[in-house]
Amino acid sequence: MSILITGSSGVIGSALCKNFTASGTEVISFDIKQGFDICNKEHLLSAMDNKIDGVIHCAAVSRVCDCESNTALCRETNIIGTRNIVECLQKQVNKPWLLFLSSREVYGQAKEFPVTENFPYNPINEYAHSKVEGEKIVREYHNSGIVRLANVYGAANDYETRVIPAFTKAALSNEPLFLNGANNILDFIHIKDAVNGIFMYCRKKPIETIHLASGLPITLRQLAEKIIHFVNSKSQIVEKTAKDNEVSCFCGSPSMAKKILNWQAEISLEYGIETFIKETRK
C-alpha cells in the first residue's frame, strides 16, 4: 500500500509516518515545511501521480488561537486546501480513499454527555467552522471517511503552549499553573492510541464518521492537580476566566470506534502523563 500523508511533519502526521513505515507501507510525505502546499494543486497532483492507494489528510492550521488570529490563513488552508485534495483525488484513475482528520471542536458546547457521532454541528470558533466545512467537502468524495479526535497528548514534539506540555513545564519549574476555566471538562487520548485508531481505520477503510475519545472526563483543575502531584511540584494553581471561543466541556463516547474498529484507548491518562513528565525531564 502507498499512502500520501499531508501535514506529515506535524504532531500527528509525523507519528503516523513512523507507524505506517514500520508496517511496510510506502509513505509519501507532504508538508509545508518541505515546500509542499495543499493550496497548490500542482504539488498535490505531482504527489498523487495516479499511484497512491489513499490519503490521510492531517494538514491544517490546527490551533484555535492561530485560527482566530489569522482567519484568512485558516480558511485558505483548512477549507480551500481540503477542496483541492478532493478535486485532485477525483482526477485519479484508481480513486484512492481519503481519511480526513477532524476535531471534537465541531460539536461545540454539547448539551449532554457522552457525545456521540450523530450530535449536531455547533462550531463556536474559526477553527471549528473550518473543520465543519472541511467535513462537508470530504463527504462529496465517495471513497472517504472522517475521524474526529479528542484532545491528543503525549507527543514529544507537541506545542509547548498546549495544556499538558504547558502544565508540565510550569510544574517542573515550580511556577504557577494558569487555568482558563478550572471546571472545563476535557477528554484526552494518548498520541499512540490516536495513531493506532487511525491506522486501524485505514486498514478497514470504512466510510463512517468516527471519533476517537477515551470517554473519561476530567476537569482542568483535576488535570493540574495530577500533574503537580506526579512532579511533586510546589506550583500553585491560578484560576482565570474561561475563554469564550474555546469548547468548555467535551466527553466522547468510544462505542462507535469499538464497534467498527474494535478500538479503545489503552493508555491511561495517569500513565500517559507520568511518561510525558519523564520524557520532558530528560
Collapse the DSSP code of 14 into the 3-class scheme (helix H, G, I; strand E, B; otherwise coil) and give the result: helix
Q: Residue 96 pLDDT more than 90? A: yes
Q: Residue 87 pLDDT more than 80? A: yes
Q: Residue 50 pLDDT more than 90? A: no
Give burial (CB, 10 Å; 0-12/13-18/19+) of 82. Answer: buried
Q: For residue 28, which of 46, 40, 11 has the smallest C-alpha distance?
A: 46
What distances in angstroms separate CA 110 from CA 107, 121, 133, 178, 223, one per listed residue?
Answer: 6, 9, 19, 25, 21
Q: Which residues contact 110 (CB under 8 A, 6 or more apart)?
A: 119, 122, 249, 250
Q: What structural domains and CATH numbers belong to the chain?
A: 2-281 (3.40.50.720)
DSSP state letter for 185: E
CA atoms within 13 A on the CB side of 230: 23
Give the residue ranges of DSSP H helices in the chain. 11-22, 41-48, 64-69, 71-75, 81-90, 126-138, 163-172, 191-204, 220-231, 255-261, 269-281
Q: What is the pLDDT of residues 233-266, one digit of tens each?
A: 999 999 999 888 889 999 999 999 999 999 999 9
Q: What is the mean pLDDT of the chain?
A: 96
Region 71-96: what's the mean pLDDT? 97
Q: Residue 206 pLDDT more than 90? A: no
DSSP state letter for 242: P
Q: What is the pLDDT of residues 192-205, one digit of tens each?
A: 999 999 999 999 88
pTM given for the model: 0.96
Question: What pLDDT is stored for residue 282 in this prediction?
Answer: 77
- In whole angstroms, give the CA distance from residue 61 to residue 50: 27
- In whole angstroms, give the CA distance from residue 117 to residue 109: 14
- In whole angstroms, give the CA distance from residue 139 to residue 245: 26
10 Å Cβ neighbour count for 165? Answer: 18
Question: What pLDDT is stored for residue 230 in this prediction?
Answer: 97
Q: Is the peptide bond before 114 cis (omega within 30 degrees of 0)?
A: yes
